[in-house]
Structure 1
């Protein structure tokens, strides 16, 4: 078994030595010379000289230290930099990314913290920073929604989910009038269906304000369900969807949601520990109804 392992080590060493000979800046003699001054490798080499099988995974062949068949590069900045250069900067390497460069080196060479060194080298490569382009689509300009003319004709809706249960409720359904900023905070239990949300919407919003002309919401399975779409069709309401995972379109409702549940001392947060969530949500709606919202009006 040991003879087979040694033979594999020698085969890998021969292949790696041929690769070193092809490199213009890396010489096997330099590697052997620098091993004498490496504090990490010297104790290993001394043990291997006394007993070739004393250190697992290491072999000493022709004065070259191998780790799992790979040539060990001692702690010399010039040597390691040359290996990194040959594996990343040369025309054959083509300035590959981190993984390609790391795998290319790992086939032939090894040293402690190799992965971190490769990552740092690739990230700081000036050519890569100047020449490589972003693969993401360019961001478009945000398009503001038109200002409504009447209250409760154009609204926005959102959900605050993941709250601790309080009297079986753990979700808040937020409905905001886009003109007046008046808000409704309605408790829900998760999981909830489109049918349940639609019924709550009709009971608490439609009965007070009628059907809105447009509704802005996040793109969510709740709003995309057939029942929800059918409800809006019957009410002659168009559903304006915002971009997926892009809540800027529904910004004001998102702001209300943040203000509602990110402050542990706020009234809405009390819903998490009290038995009367509807009372606290009505308090919160009252507070938001009396908050001054700065609005830019032309001519004033």
Structure 2
């Protein structure tokens, strides 16, 4: 029962053994008794046999304070009583870190981290503390979902174009598998009015190479006719 919390040996891989707390039952029991916030729970300790299936109760198991919690999915069945270690204040941050930030936890969200902890642990104000820990987690801030809602950028419809080549759309595609002549990129040009496409193969997409290709294109079809010339770069 204590293998996930204390430092006893288990079957987990060696690289996960460091996630365990360097505790034994005696040390945990002493830490619980010295924690004044747990005093009301010690006063509620009763025998395991009289713990109600429909309400929480506290008991001592080998000197360790345990909360017997009827799991909501159990519907009052005997097998549905979950035994939770009551965690003293000095160990709570470490326990949350194990459930959220360790190699095997996966940086889950507040609710999943909280419900994962509920299967083994309890202390007053646990969900609030879990929420604060997840909110301040550096890894989650860097790669996780943002806390705020990001509204989509407003869409601006393109103007209706009638005259050919007044507006053109330009994009660069690649790198692609090289051709026989070593071309790995395409400069694509499309007329907005007629949808006429042009694809110019390029060896590179440097400024010099792109300008040379555009000069060749505009020398054939003319510069965009709008004032100023409208070229859309994708």
Larger fraction in strand: 2
TM-score norm. by structure 1 comes to: 0.38
In terms of fraction of residues, the more helix-rich structure is: 1
